[in-house]
Amino acid sequence: MRVVAAILTAGLVFSACAVNPGMIRGELAPTERLLVLREPGAKPLRLVKNDNPAGDGFLRTPSRPVRVDDPALGHLIERMLASVQAVDGVGIAAPQVGVNRRLILVQRLDREPQKPFVAYLNPRIEKLSEETVVDWEGCL
């Protein structure tokens, strides 16, 4: 909720387009697929941090779209969920676990407590206000 509140307070509006897979290029690359599928869905992925040049460079690289019909997508979402829950976070993006794709998981408090996380595929910023808010947030 803290992430969602910060986003809404700042006037950020984004959309998640996952309806037409024909417009979305490519499935996960072989290295991404190996990273995701080599462990069970309940196993968290290692977090990429910006505390070193390699991690910082990776996190600053623009992400590629994710395909809705990619067979590895469900497993990636499961592992991202395990990763964010392992550290009691409220949001996570695929690049934070080493997969350079446009996929985020966000905890929503307006959902049932047993399933508060929602996956957004291919989100993009459509509008950004000039107002800024400086506050703590819980996204990894």
The domains found in the chain, sorted by start residue, are: 2-127 (3.90.45.10)
Q: Which residues pair with 123 in a beta bridge?
A: 16
> What DSSP string runs through 89-135?
-SEEEGGGGT--BSEEEEE-TTS-TTS-EEEEESEEEEE--S-----
| CA–CA separation, 88 and 83 (whole Å) | 9
Tens digits of residue pLDDT in 69-78: 999 999 999 9
Tens digits of residue pLDDT in 79-101: 999 999 999 899 999 999 999 99
| CA–CA separation, 32 and 11 (whole Å) | 33
pLDDT above 90 coverage of the chain, percent: 60
Residue 14, classed as helix, strand or coil, is strand
| CA–CA separation, 30 and 35 (whole Å) | 9
pLDDT at residue 43 greater than cutoff 60: yes
